[in-house]
Every structure is written in structure tokens, then in C-alpha cells.
Amino acid sequence: MVMILLLSIATTGFAIFTLASSLNDAEAVNVSGSMRMQSYRLAHDILAQSDEYKLHITQFERSMYSPSMKALQHWSVPQNITDDYYQIITRWHELTQVLMSDNKRQYLDLVAGFVQQIDAFVYKLQDYSEKKLISLAVVGGLGLGGVLLISIFVVHYTRKHIVGPLNTLVLASEQIQSRSFDVELDTKSDNEMGILARAFNDMARDLGQLYQGLEQAVSEKTHKLQHANHSLSVLYRSSQELTAARITAHNFAAILKQMMSLEGVVAVRLEILQPGEKALVLSEGQIVNSLTDDYHQDPLILDDIPLGTLYWKAALPCPDQALIDNFVQMLSRAIYYNQAQRQAEQLLVMEERTTIARELHDSLAQSLSYLKIQVSLLKRSMDKLPDCSEREKTAPLILELDTGLRAAYTQLRELLTTFRLSIKEGSFGNALQSMVEQLSEQTDAKISLRNELSSIAIETNQQVHLLQLIREATINAIKHAQANTITIECTENDDDVTVVIKDDGVGFDGKSEKANHYGLSIMQERAERLNGQLNIITNRDTGCEVYLTYPKLKDSNVDRM
């Protein structure tokens, strides 16, 4: 190995030195070759009396004294080449005196000899460069040959004394890897490989004795640990869903996906009960449109309150029932927390609205009541005036003032009613049903309701906006439509929520100014707060249909009331 290293260093060093000394060879050849052309160019400048005559003399000297030409003075360059270079410089100085004299045409007779001198110099440079390359190839070949011979010897020795025993050791290792421990290596050698072979034989016997006893125990423990680790991971990821700031249907779906990852569970279905609403149904795995006897049913109950039902279908191997019970408790808490969160949000909104209603009642309502009393007293005072002409002049003004006050007071009462609108027990369905029952008492028309929305999928502010928009549209139908039937439908699909309020009344002209009295601008504003679109289809004597469509967004931003 030392010989290979020394040969490699010597060969590489010679190659580096040769290549380093050859870096300027090509440039020197090119520069010296260009000097021939420049010599003839000076002769042409003399004949043509060129204005660039002195510039070309300067360029020639730059070429002659270029770094590549000066490098020819190095000690590694043969002395004959250096001497030729000096002779060219000397000859140029002689020619320079001719070129700068008045008898410039004498240069025309001398240029041919000068060019021949440069040609001989160029040929020497080429020959010198070629000799360096040939010597580099010869030295490289000798070094490579020496390395090759030494390598052949080393490889032969290694194969005989190291690779052979190592191959035997590898085969024995593969045999042990395949769980066959009856291995017996040759231990005749007294070197390190013999010692390694004896130690390997002892190790194989010990492993054979231990492996049989440990293999089964390790396999059982590993399976139990893997199962426990997977169960803990699933429970941890599921419990993380309960830490969300607001538990939504997305969190319930995530818990169901975690449950589907349990061994033996092939399908799950979750039904969340909401009073007065359609149950929210979520499923994972095999589609379960109709439940059969193959599905296990676990009721979701917390604090004796029924919250829903969990259906799940099992396959072999059967899942751990204790783990399923944990999921039942987790889902029950999630539903309970969801209801508690919605109730807290609704309480905050209702408290704010109630405060506004109380302030309006205590301030503006009292002022309007006081003004109504004053107008009544004013009317009585005017009736006692003896001058009939004065009464006739002021009567229209007092009547208009009284009408304006009554209208303002009526609008304020409706506004107070709107602000006192509540959502009981965190249920949008109950609030909507209660509102419809209250409105039904104010009209002879039949009000029918079909609600397929779930409170879980609707934020508190969205619920308030929906209730108020539905109430506004229904009150418009009660006051103005003269309808026999009013229908309210709330439906949803995967992307949108749609609310329709229809009546079979007299309708109205949507382009007339009267349309503004129906509170349509207020409804349009509420639709915009829901990021939705409000469309009204109506004509005279054809009834009226109010359509609201807004997107279902997981994190939609809805304006607060």
C-alpha cells in the first residue's frame, strides 16, 4: 500500500508540475504567431502611410512583452527558447530604430528575415509543448503500470488470507440470519481471522440457545405494545379534537376517522340529536343507508341527557370493547361541550341585544311615549279654542305629527321585539319553531315550517341573522300579502344553505317605491352579512317568494348584531 501511495504521489506531482508549466504554452504560441501578422501589418502601414502606424508599433510591443511571453524566462523553460526570445527582443529594438527613422522603407527589406526568426521561435515553442505532453504520458503510463502490478499482488494476497475467510464468515452470518445456528467455521489459522472464527462459533451456539426462548416472548410483547401504542395514539389524536376553540361537525368527523383506524372496525355512523331539528348524521367506512343487525348501537348520554347514538360494525379480529367505550364517552363529551359552547355564545349575543333593547326602551321609548302624551294634550287644547279657523289650520299639522309619532313608536316596538329574539337551549330549530308559533298568533294564514338545518353546523351569529331574516320576510307576508298560506323551508347540501319563504298572497311590483316599505333593504343587508345572495320573485296577484342562499364555510366570518 505504501508503494502504491508513493507511486501515486510521484506520478501526480509530475503531472501537476507539467500541467502547471503548460498553462501559458498555448497562449505563447498564439501571441508569437500573431507577431508575424503584426510585422507584416507594419510593412503595410508604411506603404499605405496609415495613421495607425504608431498604434500598431505599440500593439506589437504589448504582444512581445505579454505575460505569456515573459513566462518563457522561467527556469523550467529550456535555455534555447529563452535565448530565442531575447534575440527577437534585440532584433525588434533594431527594427524600431528603422521604423522611427526617416528611412522607414528600409523596414520592408528587413521584415521577411524578422518573420522567419519569429517562425523558428514558434516551431520551438510547439516542439517544447509536445515534448512535455509526451513525457507526461510516459510518466503516467509507467506510474499506472507500477500501481497495477502492486495492486494485483495486494488483491491476490487479500483474497487468499482475508476475503476467503470473510466470505465464509458472511455465509455463516446469513445462515444465522435465517435462524440456523448450527454453524462451524474453520479455526486452524492462528491469526486474527482464526480468533474471530472461534469467537463466532461460540456466539452462534449461545444465540441458538437464547433465540428459541426469547423469540416467542418478544413476539407476544411486541404485538401487545404495538396494539397499546396504536390505541393510545388514536385516543390522543381524538382527544385533541376536543381542545378546539369551537367544536364543529369537522371535529366529530375527525373523531370518527380515528375510530375507523381501530383494528376490527369497518364502519361507523354518528347521529347527533337536536331538539326541533333534523338529526346530524356523520358516517365513515362502508356507506350505511339502512342499519342492520350487524351494527352495534351505543347511546350517547351525559348527565342523563340523551345526546345521540353511535353505530359501529365490527369484523375479525374484534375490536377492544373498552376502547369503543372510551370513544362513546369522548363523543358524548364532545356533543355536550358543543351544546355548552353554543349556549355560551348565544348568551353573550342575547345579553348584548337585551342590553341594547333595554337602553332603547328606557330612553327612546320613554321619550316617544312622552311626546304621544303631549300631542294628545295638544289636541285637547286645540279642541277648546274658540276660533274655528285656527283649529282648521293646525289640525292637519297635529294629525301629521300624531301619525308620525305612532309610526315611530310602532317601529320602535318592532325593533325591541327583534332585539329580544332569543335562541333557547342552544337550538336553532327550537328558536325557529317558537318564532313561527308567535307569528301564527298574529295572522289567520297557515304558516308551515320545514327545517333541515342543524345548529352544530351554524354559528351563533349566523343563527341570529337567519332568524331575523325569516321573521322579517314572514312579517311582510302577514302585513302586506293577504295570504292564506305561508311556507318556510330551510335546507342544505354539501356546499350551500338555502332558505325559502313563500306565500300565495297578492304580491307586489318589485320595481315600485312601495317595495322599500317591506324592509327588503334590511333583508338584503343581512344576506350580505351571511356572504349570501337574496333573490325575491314576485308580481302582482302571483304571491311572493324570497330565496336566500349562502355558502357553508368552516370558518366563515359573520358580522355580529
Mark whether 244 and 126 lie in a shared domain. no
Judge whether 199 lies within some domain. no
In a domain, 534, yes or no: yes
Give the integer Cα–Cα distance in Å for 212 and 164. Answer: 31
Residue 141, SS3? helix
Establish if 222 belongs to a structural domain: no
Domain that holds residue 284: 230-338
In this structure, is residue 403 part of a structural domain?
Answer: no
Question: All 3 cell numbers of residue 490?
Answer: 330551510
Is 312 within a domain? yes
Query: Is it the case that residue 513 has pLDDT exceeding 50?
Result: no
pLDDT classification of 555: cutoffs 50, 70, 90: very low
Q: Is 451 helix (H, G, I), strand (E, B) or coil?
A: strand
Quick one: 328 and 466 in the same domain? no
Residue 438 inside a domain? The answer is yes
Q: Are residues 529 and 442 in the same domain?
A: yes
Specify the CATH number for the domain of residue 245. Answer: 3.30.450.40
Regarding whether 461 and 325 lie in a shared domain, the answer is no
Residue 535's beta-bridge partner residues? 547
Domain boundary pick from 338, 360, 384: 338
The count of domains in the chain is 3
Last residue of a domain, one of 291, 318, 338: 338
Q: Is residue 205 part of a domain?
A: no
Residues 6 and 146 in one domain: yes
Mean pLDDT of 49-58: 83
Domain CATH for 25: 1.20.120.960
Work out the pLDDT band at 356, boundaries 50, 70, 90. Answer: low
- How many CB atoms lie under 10 A from the CB of residue 489? 15
Which H helix or E strand runs over 110?
Answer: helix 106-158
pLDDT at residue 426 is higher than 60: no
The residues near 8 (Cβ < 8 Å, ≥ 6 apart) are 143, 147
Which range has the worst mean pLDDT, 171-185, 315-329, 406-420, 438-452? Answer: 406-420
Average pLDDT value over all residues in the chain: 77
Lowest mean pLDDT among 201-210, 298-307, 351-360, 401-410: 351-360
Mean pLDDT calculated for residue range 460-472: 83
Last residue of a domain, one of 296, 315, 338: 338
Looking up residue 478, the CATH number of its domain turns out to be 3.30.565.10
Q: What's the residue count for the chain?
A: 561
pTM score above 0.75:
no
Shared domain check, 114 and 244: no
310 or 106: which leads in pLDDT: 310
**Claim to verify: residue 560 and residue 433 sit in the same structural domain:** yes
Kind of pairing between the strands at 446-451 and 280-285: unpaired
503, 481 in Cβ contact below 8 A?
Answer: yes
In a domain, 516, yes or no: yes
Q: Which residue has the higher pLDDT, 224 or 299?
A: 299
